[in-house]
Amino acid sequence: MPSRLRHWLGHGADRVLIDPISLPPLNALRANLGLPPVKRLGYWWNSPLRMILMCPPWYVPRQPDGPRQATQVGFPMADHLGDVGELAPTLDAYLDAGSARLVFTYGSGMRQGAKFFRVAVEICRRMRLRGILLAREAEQVPASLPAKVIHVRSAPLSLLLPRCAALVHHGGIGTVAQARAAGMPQMGAPVAFSHFDDAQRLPRLDLGAVLGPHAFRPRRACREVEKMLASPAMIQARTAARTRMAAQDGVASACDEIKRVAGRL
């Protein structure tokens, strides 16, 4: 698209979608620290002092044309920060009642996931596996579910995923990272934004599979899940990724980098 049109679309997205959601909590924190408010996130986060990219180089190699002030650290494992809570008692009991569980999530911000969850239920039925549907809004989930499939509004992935067999999701980078930390197979069904990029990295790194919006159908998805569960190469790659994830602390590394930059000012 022409640069003027791209700028107009980006500016509109900032004003209508990103800034109203992101700026209030950010500026509340800054006010507590005695700092002035940020007026537009898109201008503020491209700092000439330092840009901290919350993904490790083994996942996204440094780009030769990337900003020179950018540095990469590990993933920010959001629900490892002490506020994760516990699994709901009903979910915990479900996990204890059987094995071979599939987890499906279309992201916490998605409001158009009805088709995704219909396919998810059919996958569980065809593969005769138990399933967990993570969706904040019950309207996205079929009204009638098989006995082996349950709907949960939300759950801490760091506690849930290690007790499950595979994850099928929208391709969000936070969800991708949680599945890597659990060492489990994952299938990306990308929706928008960076989802397509993250999902494409799964087969490239032998960590899982990807099916586009039109390819995400029960028969095809079942075949891909079976391959992910049985592939020796994927099992080995997932084990290596889990080891790498356990050795990193993205939040601590980001804090260390902030201290280094602040010490030079």
Q: Quick one: which of 137, 146, 136, 194 has its CA closest to 170? A: 194
Express each pLDDT in 81-100 by its tens digit.
444 578 889 999 999 998 87
Summarize the confidence of residues 28-34 as an average pLDDT.
Answer: 96
| 168-173-176 Cα angle (round to 5) | 40
Express each pLDDT in 165-184 by its tens digit.
999 999 988 899 999 999 99
Express each pLDDT in 189-240 by its tens digit.
998 888 889 888 999 999 999 998 889 999 999 999 999 999 999 999 999 9
Q: Give every strand in the sheet of 166-169, ordered side by side.
A: 149-152, 130-134, 101-105, 166-169, 186-188, 208-210
Q: Quick one: which of 118, 93, 98 has its CA closest to 168? A: 118
Structural domains of the chain ordered from first start: 3-78 (no CATH), 84-246 (3.40.50.2000)
Express each pLDDT in 38-72 by its tens digit.
998 888 878 889 999 999 998 889 888 989 999 99
Q: Are residues 170 and 186 in contact, defined by beta-carbon separation less than 8 angstroms?
A: no
What pLDDT score was predicted for residue 81?
A: 44
Q: Are residues 54 and 254 in contact, defined by beta-carbon separation less than 8 angstroms?
A: yes
What pLDDT score was predicted for residue 11?
A: 83
Percentage above 90 pLDDT, the chain? 62
Q: How many CB atoms lie within 10 A of CB 81?
A: 9
* Strand-pair category, 149-152 with 166-169: unpaired
Q: Are residues 169 and 155 in contact, defined by beta-carbon separation less than 8 angstroms?
A: no
